[in-house]
Structure 1
Amino acid sequence: MTQKVVLVGSLDTKGIEFKYIKDALEKLGIETLVVDVGVLNKPAFNPDIPSSEVAQFAGTTLEILREEKDRGKAVTAMAEGAAKAVEKLLAQGIVGGIFGMGGTAGTTVGASAMKVVPIGIPKLLLSTVASGNTRPYVGVKDVTMMYSVIDIAGVNKLSRRILSNAAYAIGGMVKGISTELEQEEEKTTIGMTMFGVTTPCVTRVREILEEKGYDILVFHATGTGGLAMEELVDAGFIKAVADITTTELADELVGGIFTAGPSRLEAAGRSGVPQVVSVGALDMVNFGPPDTVPEKFKNRKFYQHNPTTTLMRTTIEENRQLGETIAKKLNQAKSPTVVIFPKGGVSLIDQASQAFDGVEEREALYKALKENLRSDIPFIESEKNINDPSVSVLISEQLLSILREEISIS
């Protein structure tokens, strides 16, 4: 089935602008499919999926939304309906790209639809709010946001140029990805997690695995990084994981800024994806500049990583809880799982003579993890720091061994 660029927007208030984008794309030879989310008035042109159908996807009707005259409720309903409409199109194999535009409401609805679209499929939001905080709209997806400069209200000398640029941008992405997929070499994709303080370890593991012919994706473990990796695991894109840097669990436990939420470290086990897990950077909780650290932590041990990043040493009790948490999560795994524990330290600054060297903290983490881990999950110890080359080799060998077994079984 021919894939199309799905246009999601309000054709009653932004119909002229969406028609401009539609015509521009079709001049490029790209087919479109229009999803109308307008509530108030008739659309400026006929969509492929009318707003009445979108409202039904959200469990309501246009009539009800109009009668209630609650803008917030209407936006929420159409955002939900648009996402479900796009999910249906994805199941049909129609979506080759997705485009949305508007102010806060149009951006919210467009972003909701994009969140159900797998990473790798082009997504573009032309928005009046793209110069501000974009995290609520982007999340962990590869959404491209373009600032509209002026309000999206008619086609004029300036907006025509901006609308054209937006159309050519999404059109170029769609055309480019189709050409790239034709030429792409099939490789098994492995996801890895990294922090600055685990970079030597992760770099060496990546080099070893790349030499063996694997395609490696490295995620910066800053909350969104871990979430993005697990999103790709759930989507079936990543086929194995070297989860070396599980530091996001510490931020979730203690209240740091780099939490990936309570479900971190569960996707691979849930999806049956082979994983080798270590305890990289669990010696630290992350905050912004020093004045952003909560008052309750004022007596803790800190390390100023850079002017905007303040690291706080995890305590013995926090490490005990982290060990128990990791064991609990891995015990649920349905996939081949191996744990590597570097007893010489879990980061560049958690080793002899360094700022966060903590023998008792590491021991608490070690004992809690080992004692609570399922007995059939291999727990492999090294006396070295996580960044010692021997630990990189150990992680690589264990993952390669699992992958060889997976191949021989299949």
Structure 2
Amino acid sequence: MTSVVLVGTLDTKGVEYGWLRERLLRAGVEVVLVDTGIMGEPRVNADVPRETVARAAGTELSALRAADRGPAVTTMARGAEAALLRLHAEGRLHGVLAIGGSGGTSIATRAMRALPLGVPKVMVSSMASGDVAPYVGSADITMMYSVVDIAGINSISAPVLANAVEAVAGMARAFQRASMELRRPAGPGAGARPLVAASMAGVTTTGVDAARERLTELGYEVLVFHSSGTGGRTLETLAGQGIFAGVLDLTLGELADDLCGGILTAGPDRLSAAGRAGIPQVVSLGALDMVKFGPLETLPERARYRRIRVHNPSITVIRTTESECAELGRRVAAKLRASTGPTAVCLPLRGLSALGAPGGPYHEPRADGALFSTLREGLRGSAARLYDYDTHINDPAFGRAAADRLHTMIDVVSAAA
């Protein structure tokens, strides 16, 4: 049968989880109840008790009870992650549902984030009307606002939780059906198109669109990730799961934000996962000529004397300097030197963004040149291949050439497999 996992603190939310379990059973799905409580006694019996969850994190419940709350919650979240991954591997998890405040949400969503893309994940939380980025990360978690605090079943919480039950039950059944279909023997010629990831920003759209169209012609399904911080983190997460045949990473602007304190950083691990996984990757330097900040009035004092451009009412950009570009070249080179798979770097010598084209407000050959030269020096002697193109990054010919290069690399890897 379809199985839904409930994960939560059964000392503080035991009554509510018992209600959810009863509703899920009435909806026709099996239930596995995982207890992540620490201090009080559970108010309902769990299928995976808290002691088991603690041991999955490499400790004992008694040690967590003696520890500070913060570290104890973090450890229990790690144990919940291990427990859910084990249930998924055993075929006993077709969906997961949790309820909670800040602590319960933190524990449950860490476990949810570890599950593969497509596994239904529903979190009903009193935190869901605020900034949920720390909880969701780059995972496909469905957040539902609880409206009232989750403290008993009442006239407000009951319909909200009932909707969550029906949602996860329906999604879990659909997920199980899809999983069973994937396990059936494929007919002649059956099979999905290979997946390729591509990174894009508004200022690199034309070039990336040309590459995407070319890859589609060549038989790939192209997933485009916006260079918005979250987009880059999602690309890295999925690349680490090994679902891509190749990565066309033409837009690295998130690295400039990471260096200069911009608002669209994807963190220090951007441009790492494909290399670690040995996935063929073609990389360019799109949007490294700018750093993104919020509305103009929020621009930091240190940036007010730079070359400023209002991209839209929500985004203000400044031009990266020659020294910043040199550092970005070194950072990109260091990441690519660590790659374990085929890597090519395509350099568009006439500009890195729509603003950096010849005659554009961010066209600055000295700064771009510093980026190119430190990148070349950093990759000297490495396995990564460098290719110069006397074009702008948004020249359709550049996008098609980058796509063809990635296709060739994927073909070589496939032939050797």
Matched, 1:322 2:328: yes
Tell me: CA distance 1:40–1:378, structure 2 relative to 1, closer, same or farther (3 Å): closer
Could you tell me which residue of structure 2 aligns to residue 402 of structure 1?
409
Which is worse superposed, 276-285 or 175-184? 175-184
Matched, 1:274 2:280: yes
- State the SS of the aligned residue for 1:44: coil
1:55-204 alignment to 2 at 5 Å? 55-66=54-65, 70-181=68-179, 185-204=191-210
**Contact 1:190 1:214 (8 Å CA) reproduced:** yes
Could you tell me which residue of structure 2 aligns to residue 370 of structure 1?
376
1:318-357 alignment to 2 at 5 Å? 318-357=324-363
Q: Distance in 1 between matches of 2:71 and 2:274?
A: 36
In structure 1, give the amino acid aligned to 2:235. Answer: M
Q: Distance in 2 between matches of 1:34 and 1:305?
A: 49
Which is worse superposed, 19-28 or 270-279? 19-28
Q: Distance in 1 between matches of 2:82 and 2:177?
A: 29
Matched, 1:231 2:214: no
**Contact 1:124 1:143 (8 Å CA) reproduced:** yes
In structure 2, give the amino acid aligned to 1:45. Answer: V
Cα deviation per residue 1:307-333 (whole Å; 9 max; x = unaligned)? 110101011111111112111211111
In structure 2, give the amino acid aligned to 1:42. Answer: E
1:153 is displaced (CA, Å) by 1.8
**Contact 2:94 2:173 (8 Å CA) reproduced:** no
1:185-334 alignment to 2 at 5 Å? 185-334=191-340
Matched, 1:383 2:382: no
Q: Distance in 2 between matches of 1:320 and 1:363?
A: 8
Q: Distance in 2 between matches of 1:327 and 1:298?
A: 30
Could you tell me which residue of structure 2 aligns to residue 51 of structure 1?
50
Cα deviation per residue 1:223-254 (whole Å; 9 max; x = unaligned)? 22111111111111222100010111111111
Q: Distance in 2 between matches of 1:114 and 1:235?
A: 15
Which is worse superposed, 307-316 or 151-160? 151-160
In structure 2, give the amino acid aligned to 1:78. Answer: M
Could you tell me which residue of structure 1 aligns to residue 188 of structure 2?
none
Aligned residues: 408
Q: Distance in 2 between matches of 1:408 and 1:393?
A: 22
**Contact 1:190 1:240 (8 Å CA) reproduced:** yes
Could you tell me which residue of structure 2 aligns to residue 36 of structure 1?
35
**Contact 1:3 1:93 (8 Å CA) reproduced:** no
Unaligned runs of 5+ in 2: 183-190
TM-score (norm 1): 0.94
Could you tell me which residue of structure 1 aligns to residue 187 of structure 2?
none
Tell me: CA distance 1:329–1:75, structure 2 relative to 1, closer, same or farther (3 Å): closer
Q: Distance in 2 between matches of 1:386 and 1:144?
A: 36
Q: Distance in 2 between matches of 1:399 and 1:59?
A: 43
Q: Distance in 1 between matches of 2:389 and 2:231?
A: 27
In structure 2, give the amino acid aligned to 1:364. Answer: A
- State the SS of the aligned residue for 2:285: coil
In structure 1, give the amino acid aligned to 2:143. Answer: M
**Contact 1:233 1:239 (8 Å CA) reproduced:** no
Q: Distance in 2 between matches of 1:128 and 1:254?
A: 34
- State the SS of the aligned residue for 2:251: coil
Q: Distance in 2 between matches of 1:116 and 1:161?
A: 29
1:95 is displaced (CA, Å) by 2.5
**Contact 2:245 2:410 (8 Å CA) reproduced:** no
Q: Distance in 1 between matches of 2:127 and 2:22?
A: 25
Could you tell me which residue of structure 2 aligns to residue 21 of structure 1?
20
CA RMSD, 1 decimal:
1.9
In structure 2, give the amino acid aligned to 1:168. Answer: E
- State the SS of the aligned residue for 1:303: strand
Could you tell me which residue of structure 2 aligns to residue 4 of structure 1?
3
Cα deviation per residue 1:153-208 (whole Å; 9 max; x = unaligned)? 22223322111100111122222233445667522111110100011111121122
Cα deviation per residue 1:325-358 (whole Å; 9 max; x = unaligned)? 1112111111111111101111111012211111
Q: Distance in 2 between matches of 1:130 and 1:137?
A: 9
**Contact 2:2 2:176 (8 Å CA) reproduced:** no
1:29 is displaced (CA, Å) by 2.6
Cα deviation per residue 1:96-155 (whole Å; 9 max; x = unaligned)? 222111111211111121122122211110001100111111111111110011121222
- State the SS of the aligned residue for 2:4: strand
Cα deviation per residue 1:345-402 (whole Å; 9 max; x = unaligned)? 1111101221111111111112221232144422111111100111011111101111
Q: Distance in 2 between matches of 1:333 and 1:208?
A: 25
1:64 is displaced (CA, Å) by 4.3
Q: Distance in 2 between matches of 1:397 and 1:72?
A: 50
